[in-house]
Chains A and B, each alone.
Chain A
Amino acid sequence: MTTSTPTTNKKIESVSGITVRLCGDSGDGMQLLGTQLTNTSALAGNDVATFPDFPAEIRAPRGTRAGVSGFQVQFASEAIFTPGDTLDALVVMNPAAMVTNIADLRKGGILIANEDGFNEKEYKLAKVESNPLDADVIDQSYRVVKVAMTKLTRAAVAEHGLSTKIADRCKNFFAMGLVYWLFGRSLDPTLRFIEAKFGKKPDIAAANVAALRAGWAYGETTEEFGESYQVEAAELEPGTYRNIMGNQALAWGLIAASKISNKEMFYGTYPITPASDILHELTKFKNFGVRTFQAEDEIAAIGATIGAAFGGTMAVTASSGPGIALKGEAMGLGVMLELPMIVINVQRGGPSTGLPTKTEQSDLLQVMFGRNGEAPMPVLAPRSPGDCFAMAVEAWRIAVECMVPVMLLSDGYIANGSEPWKIPEMDELPTILCSHPQEHTGEGPFLPYARNENLARPWAIPGTPELMHRVGGLEKEDGTGNVSYDPANHQHMCDTRAAKVAKIAERIPEQDVNGETSGDVLVVSWGGTYGACHTAVNRCREAGHSVSHAHIRYINPLPRNIGTLLKSFKTVVVPELNSGQLRMLLRAEFLVDCIGINKIQGKPFAVSELVEAISKHTSTHSQSKAG
């Protein structure tokens, strides 16, 4: 198979960044198209950020609005932190995809429509009266390019003798070819992908290649396009990069943590959106000593995880909110047993089953407090897909150093999003020392709940002579670990478990700030809203406002300088995709008033809405200062 990309003879316009969204029926291959475009753009050296958006149904009835699957990607020649607010280009495969997405296309933006997907039957399915492409407002507002993709694809793949049904499936590759031409992307990575994925079905592989090339050639020859666009490579920190998705980075971070701590990993889980991909990824790496256990339910998953931790293994479980609710009792046990393990919550919209495929940040209080009794757990929250790697390693480091279950709080937006990730050198990874006492030293019986300077107890594991001990959910006597109902001991143990978590503040970095460390407004955010908040704050600063940004990755305990920081600004603004959970914690902890910017729509923040909301507070200040 030849892997060369032809060169265009048309004019090329250079732009700093492009945001494009690809929409079709779930089953049209839009996620595949998006992923390929992302990887190709990343390989071209662009900074990229993505936002896949798909229905919770496996295949919602085709042609309907409920069945629209979309993938948005921004690629740019400068550092970017979000998939973009408004679209420069929108590709739609049918009327439903068009009517549900057109509002996000900027005026003058390019609308590429698969003309063959627009007919009476489809209008009915999409619940539109007539062809939405024919509306005057569409013509006046956008550059509309109608392409008979189905027909052209059939013609392009005709020689490969596929059934019409199979041939029609290639039309996403036609669309891909056209998009690649439009944005000057190389075909080579996708040609390699086709070879790897369909190599065993040569006719399908050949047809997809033909469709891809036909799409490219269509862009080159049609008079609809007078020019294509070029986005130069971004100036990223030197190094070797790859594109990575959040859940993949989490899985790799866990594998790395396992390797550098010289521990094999046990991963107990039960499938749940959007956490399942961590399992899918980890099962590929049994040669790293990864044992994955698909349990009968969430409780069994964490039970097995705690059992593995007791046995001396690096033990991890993951779920999303509803599953974390089921794990609550066992997490409390993990806290009592004082064993190291990681519990991952990839949040989705709630409550209950909520919006499984949509993102939200409303499990923060759940992971902070969702256990009976006083059962504090450290909570870490990655801020972006690539950051999942680093935070997974951090979670394990803290778990081992302090003998405590650690909560890692991700979300659907991070999990399914992707970005370029600078591959770390081995010596950049932290060292994690796991040690188990080998023999009983000292006087008297072995003390399983003796503590070191971190208040951590020894991780004595079954199989070690002389260190036999019993752990369990009944309150433990300090030191001996025997069951104790002594009131003073219970107070002491509750205090100690809390102090142990609080002390972790000494072992994590101080909070960093984008901007000055005092001023008018401090924007405090956490989790997947990082990109939008970072970009919004930068825009406010460029507009001359006194705004700084602190994005918290260590939520419990909070970095030790947070209190001072909050008190150094006139106003603290906390944007969250919930109704104010971090805000509640900050107010309670520091008695600092915080103003929330809150949204619970299953959608991430747009930069523009944050800029607007943050600006309100800066202008109020300027006014009050002036007055």
Chain B
Amino acid sequence: MNLPVLKAADFASDQDVRWCPGCGDYSILAQMKKILPDLGVPREKTVFVSGIGCSSRFPYYMNTYGMHSIHGRAPTFATGLKSTRPDLMVWVITGDGDALSIGGNHFIHCLRRNLDVNIVLFNNRIYGLTKGQYSPTSSEGQVTKSTPMGAIDHPLSPLSVALAAEATFVARSIDAHVQHLGKTLKAAAEHKGTSLVEVYQNCNVFNDGAMAYAQERKQRADNVIELEHGKPLIFGAERDKGIRLVGSHLEVVNTADVPADDLLIHDALDPNPSIQMMLARMRYPEMPEPIGVLRSVAGVSTYNDQINEQVTQAKAARGEGDLSELFRSGDTWEVKA
């Protein structure tokens, strides 16, 4: 059978993209369009649900079904949709403000329910759409429009939050690292259960260069460590540095100084999230920051499967509901004419 072969361009809607020139969102949009044809899911079976924020304009630019919903609540819309239409591939597009401030609650619950959707969290550590206030991921001390003396909140790590919620798939990538981004989005799409991909995304208007250490090719190799399941944790432009587990903490070592066996081997499949949590907590500049799939645990039941399974079971056990029978269940009486 000859199936139509879709191309990235087929996923573009007829709407003008209105992000600021140079915004990291363009790269994420491009990678999304690029990987979707490979997934084999028809456009009409693909739905993008977003909240509010720059990132959340995303659905308008995709030639699929889409819903631009309300601030922070995209996971809830996805929950109703996926629970009733498990046949659809549902993506949740969100940002650091959307998912972690106003939507923190829904973010956690979506992950712990393991609803089979893919959450892409664009993290630029700033509020873009409301023009430059600090966000839950902004650095401590960051001076913004709303924090002239520096932010005094401790930043939140989406990966740590996700792991604490026992998320079954947790990953991170970078807008500027396009190949890695595409690969990571694809891995997320292929996961059954909630997948979270945090994407470091540059806001060149309000927070330009905040993550340059991870985005720029020259610095990246020393500041970022690419995780691969079953492989030792090695990084650096010269591949001369590694990560070792000592007691209950991680440390950076020179690979020349330690036996190869001493390096931590990444286990993304481990259902115990303890070491994955240690990885999630690695922060620049003390440590390289991890990108790639931190955690990918298979075989955990999904919310959508279970809610539908209960309906199937009830129908099997009691038969398809009959209204007339329902009305007459229990005590009734007859009034004669």
A associates with B = yes
Interface pair A472/B67, CB less than 8 Å apart = yes
Chain B positions within 8 Å of A241 at CB level = 332-335
Q: Assess whether A14 is interfacial by the CB under 8 Å rule.
A: no
| A239 interface hit (Cβ, 8 Å) | yes
- Contact residues in B for A285 (Cβ distance below 8 Å): 321, 326
Residue from B49, B84, B109, B330 whose CB has the most chain A CB atoms within 10 Å: B84
Check: B213 CB closer than 8 A to any chain A CB: no
Residues of A within 8 A of B330 (CB): 242
Question: Measured between C-beta atoms, what is the minimum distance from B95 to chain A in Å?
Answer: 15
Q: Which residues of B contact A305 (CB under 8 A)?
A: 80
Residue A167 lies at the interface, judged by CB distance under 8 Å to chain B:
no
User: What residues on A are CB-neighbors of B85 within 8 Å?
Assistant: 311-313, 462-463
A223 to B64 CA separation, bound complex (whole angstroms):
81
Q: Which one of B37-45, B136-144, B201-209 contacts A?
A: B37-45
The interface size of chain B toward A, counting residues with CB under 8 Å, comes to 63
Stretch at the interface among A120-128, A210-218, A294-302, A509-517: A294-302
**Bound CA–CA A464/B109 (angstroms):** 30
**8 A Cβ contacts from A243-294 to B:** 243, 252, 255-256, 259, 264, 266, 268, 285-291, 293
Given contacts A289-B311, A300-B109, A311-B85, contact A255 B326 (CB under 8 A): yes
The reply to whether A308 and B333 form a contact with Cβ atoms under 8 Å apart is: no
In Å, the complex CA distance between A197 and B214 comes to: 65
Q: Is A468 an interface residue (CB 8 A)?
A: yes
Given contacts A45-B333, A307-B49, contact A242 B84 (CB under 8 A): no
A7 at the interface (CB under 8 A from B): no
Answer whether residue B319 sits at the interface, using C-beta atoms and an 8 A cutoff. yes
Q: Which of B68, B73, B308, B319 contacts A299 (CB 8 A)?
A: B73
Query: With A45-B333, A287-B320, A462-B44 as given contacts, are A483 and B69 in contact (CB-CB < 8 Å)?
Result: no
Most buried by A among B75, B81, B310, B320: B81
CA distance A255 to B325 in the complex (A): 13
Closest Cβ neighbor of A474 among chain B residues = B68
Check B335–A237 contact: CB distance below 8 A. yes
Q: Which residues of chain A from 414 to 444 have any CB-CB distance to chain B below 8 Å in the complex?
A: 423-424, 426
Evaluate whether A287 and B332 lie within 8 angstroms (CB atoms) in the complex, with A300-B79, A462-B44 already known: no
- CB-CB under 8 A from B84, the residues of chain A are 264, 266, 291, 307-308, 311-313, 315
B317 CB–A CB distance under 8 Å: yes
Q: Which residue of B lies closest to A464 (CB)?
A: B44
Which residues of the other chain, A, contact B69 by a CB distance below 8 angstroms?
Answer: 303, 306, 333, 472-473
Contacts of A296 in B (CB 8 A): 105-106, 109
Query: Which A residues lie within 8 Å of B26 (CB)?
Result: none
> B324 contacts which chain A residues (CB < 8 A)?
426
| B83-106 interface code vs A (CB 8 A; 1 in, 0 out) | 111011000000000000000011
Q: In the bound complex, do residue A471 and residue B332 qualify as a contact, i.e. CB atoms below 8 Å apart?
A: no
Measured in the bound complex, the distance between the Cα atoms of B324 and A305 in whole Å is 27
A482 to B14, CA, bound (A): 10
- Contacting B at CB under 8 A, from A454-488, are 462-474, 482-483
Q: Which residues of B contact A482 (CB under 8 A)?
A: 15, 60
Q: Which residues of A contact B118 (CB under 8 A)?
A: none
Measured CA separation A349–B121 after assembly (Å):
41
**In the complex, which of the residues A252, A268, A466 contacts B326, with contact meaning CB atoms closer than 8 Å?**
A252
Provided the pairs A288-B321, A304-B76, A472-B69 are in contact, do residues A236 and B335 lie with their beta carbons within 8 angstroms? yes
* Contact yes or no, A472 B315, CB < 8 A: no
| Complex contacts, B314 vs chain A, CB 8 Å | 286-287
A145 within 8 A of B: no
Check B321 against A289 for contact (C-beta < 8 Å): yes
Q: B326 contacts which chain A residues (CB < 8 A)?
A: 252, 255, 285, 288
Q: How far is the CA of A240 from the CA of B332 in the complex (A)?
A: 7
Whether A493 is near chain B, meaning CB under 8 Å from some CB there, is no
- Once A241-B332, A266-B83, A304-B79 are accepted as A-B contacts, the answer to whether A286 and B310 lie under 8 Å apart by CB is yes
Q: Are A291 and B88 in contact (CB under 8 A)?
A: no
Query: Are A291 and B83 in contact, CB atoms less than 8 angstroms apart?
Result: yes
A contact residues around B83 at 8 Å (CB) = 266, 291, 293, 304, 308
Cβ–Cβ < 8 Å partners of B257 in chain A: none
Known: A303-B79, A311-B88. A238 touches B335 (CB 8 A): yes
Distance between Cα atoms of A463 and B232 in the complex (Å): 43
B168 to chain A, nearest CB (A): 18
Q: Is A329 an interface residue (CB 8 A)?
A: yes
Q: Does B47 contact A (CB under 8 A)?
A: yes
Known contacts A330-B73, A423-B332; A287/B337 CB under 8 A: no
Contact A300 B44 (CB under 8 A): no
CA–CA, A312 and B318, complex, Å: 25
Q: Does B13 contact A (CB under 8 A)?
A: yes
B136 CB, nearest partner CB in chain A, Å: 18
Q: Measured between alpha carbons, how far is A463 from B47 in the docked complex, in Å?
A: 9
Q: Across the interface, which residues of A come within 8 angstroms of B70, CB to CB? A: 303, 329-330, 333, 473
Distance in angstroms from A457 CB to nearest chain B CB is 15
Interface flag for A189 (CB, 8 Å): yes
29 pairs, A vs B, C-beta closer than 8 Å: A43-B333, A236-B335, A238-B337, A242-B328, A255-B326, A285-B321, A287-B321, A288-B320, A289-B315, A289-B321, A293-B79, A296-B109, A300-B73, A303-B75, A307-B76, A307-B78, A310-B80, A311-B85, A315-B80, A315-B84, A423-B327, A462-B85, A463-B44, A463-B85, A463-B88, A467-B44, A470-B60, A472-B60, A482-B60
Seen from chain B, the residues whose Cβ lies within 8 Å of a Cβ on chain A are 13-15, 42-45, 47, 49, 52, 59-60, 62-70, 73, 75-85, 87-88, 105-106, 109, 307-308, 310-311, 313-315, 317-321, 323-324, 326-328, 330-337
Q: Known A-B contacts: A286-B310, A290-B311, A291-B308. Give 15 more (CB < 8 A).
A: A238-B337, A242-B333, A252-B326, A255-B321, A259-B323, A287-B318, A289-B321, A291-B84, A300-B105, A303-B73, A307-B84, A470-B13, A482-B15, A482-B60, A483-B60
Q: Which 6 A-B pairs have the closest CB atoms?
A: A472-B68, A303-B76, A307-B80, A288-B321, A304-B80, A286-B314
